[in-house]
Amino acid sequence: MHWFDTIQNTIEEAWYKRFGYPVVPYGRREASRRALLVYLSPGMKWREDDPRFEWHQNLRQSRDLAGLLAERGFRVDVVQYNDRRFVPSGRYDLVVAHPGVVSSRIQELPRSGIRLSLRTGRHTSFIDRAMEERRARLKVSRGWAPEWTGLGETQEVYRGFDAIACFDGNGTTAATFSCVGIPVYPFRNYANPAIKYVEKSIPVARSGFIYMAGQLPLLKGLDWLIELFATTPDRHLFLCGGKSAEITRLYASELALPNIHSLGHIEMGSDHFRRLCERAAWYVSPSASDGCQGTALNAMAAGLVPILSEACGVDAGDVGITLNPCNPESLRLALDEAMHMSGNDIMGHSHRARACVESRYTPRHFREDWNHILNQVGAG
């Protein structure tokens, strides 16, 4: 992202926090039906080619959803999910709401129309269990694990909603919401359309592995990766994103090794990202919990070969390596398999990774899934 865009982002965020986020109307003013989309509103006001869309595809998905609803004859109010200043008023024929401040206020309104709960991850009870399992393993390997009190979300967040729509690319995420007792409809995430395939030299890139995650690195398996790469100096681990203070403290000596590279946040699609893809053939994510991991899809779009757990929520078909079960031993075996794969096979997987994204995980597939959901709930 250009420095000017970074400054603009900072100023806008400060403005929103002080004065509230914009409520963006979308669709024909004279439309007879009203919809409320509670998700991410700032991107609704950006130009179509705004570089900030490259940061995360969810920002663009608010526009996609608003456009679909407008095509179906709704006038849509798009609201930031955590805007404490917005108070919903009037009657909405359809509400699509990510949990947060606004969603909880909607629950207190008299019932009208159809209400969909929008989820981008797995059910919190699944996440809490997965975190406890990862903490138990860390206690064994390091004798200590950070405290975890849980996400604190209860079934109350679904009160008054008719159905759940959730990210899910391989059929495993929707199942985590079965305990709620209302219909669950999956929809696919998509790779950022701006990401291009990156050519590389296999002799240079075969020993390079990219890890990308911004939050809850313990849940994403960062500790396992650090421990494994610390024992294999012929392989390079490129860490992109946050590590957390606990991980940094626990693995201070390992993180100082010359084959473990802490790079911080890297914009997908940036020149830095493309140069990194020239040095690495693989994207690795031993995650314990995702909805349909957008970072994995972006990596595959760039031609990185995926090494994914089932919990990444991505069906990559015959591309790459699946961690099943996902544990330190299967991860070690997967990394060994990757290192011994022939150059021709790596290139074949690389091209098929891009083809997999183009055939399954594009904005068109996202819209197809949402049109199906809207038909199923009677929002035609």
In tens digits, what is the pLDDT along the chain, a chain of 380 residues?
Answer: 556 666 777 787 788 877 889 899 999 999 999 999 999 998 898 888 887 787 778 989 999 999 999 999 999 999 999 999 999 988 999 999 999 999 999 999 998 899 999 999 999 999 999 999 999 999 999 999 999 999 999 999 999 999 999 999 999 999 999 999 999 999 999 999 989 999 999 999 999 999 998 789 999 999 999 999 999 999 999 999 888 999 999 999 999 999 999 999 898 888 999 999 999 999 999 999 999 999 999 999 999 999 999 999 999 999 999 999 999 999 999 999 999 999 999 999 999 999 999 999 999 999 999 999 999 999 97
Cβ–Cβ < 8 Å for 182, 210 = no
- Number of domains comprising the chain: 2
Residues 250 and 342 in one domain: yes
Cβ–Cβ < 8 Å for 315, 170 = yes
Report if residue 135 sits inside a domain: no
Cβ–Cβ < 8 Å for 95, 35 = yes
CA distance 69 to 76: 7
Report if residue 162 sits inside a domain: yes
Residues 158 and 235 in one domain: no
Residues 37 and 76 in one domain: yes
DSSP state of 314: B
Residues 52 and 104 in one domain: yes
CATH number at residue 27: 3.40.50
Residues 160 and 223 in one domain: no
Residues 55 and 76 in one domain: yes
Residue entry with tokens 């690195």: 217
CA angle 222, 224, 230 (to 5 degrees): 100
Sign, CA torsion 194/2/59/25: negative
Report if residue 195 sits inside a domain: no
CA distance 72 to 66: 10
Report if residue 134 sits inside a domain: no
Residues 105 and 218 in one domain: no
pTM of the model: 0.95
CA distance 218 to 253: 18
CA distance 71 to 299: 32
Residues 368 and 347 in one domain: no
CA angle 71, 72, 76 (to 5 degrees): 80
Report if residue 263 sits inside a domain: yes
- pLDDT, residue 213, reads 87
Report if residue 47 sits inside a domain: yes
What is the β-pairing status of strands 163-167 and 184-187? Answer: parallel
Residues 206 and 110 in one domain: no
Indicate the burial class of 237 (C-beta count within 10 angstroms; 0-12, 13-18, 19 or more): buried
- pLDDT, residue 231, reads 98
Residues 333 and 226 in one domain: yes
DSSP state of 304: P
- pLDDT, residue 369, reads 98
Kind and range of the H or E element at 79? strand 74-80
DSSP state of 111: P
Domain that holds residue 318: 202-360
- pLDDT, residue 40, reads 95
Residues 50 and 156 in one domain: yes
Residue 359 vs residues 77, 277, 363: alpha-carbon distances, Å: 32, 22, 11
Report if residue 95 sits inside a domain: yes
Residues 295 and 349 in one domain: yes
Report if residue 295 sits inside a domain: yes
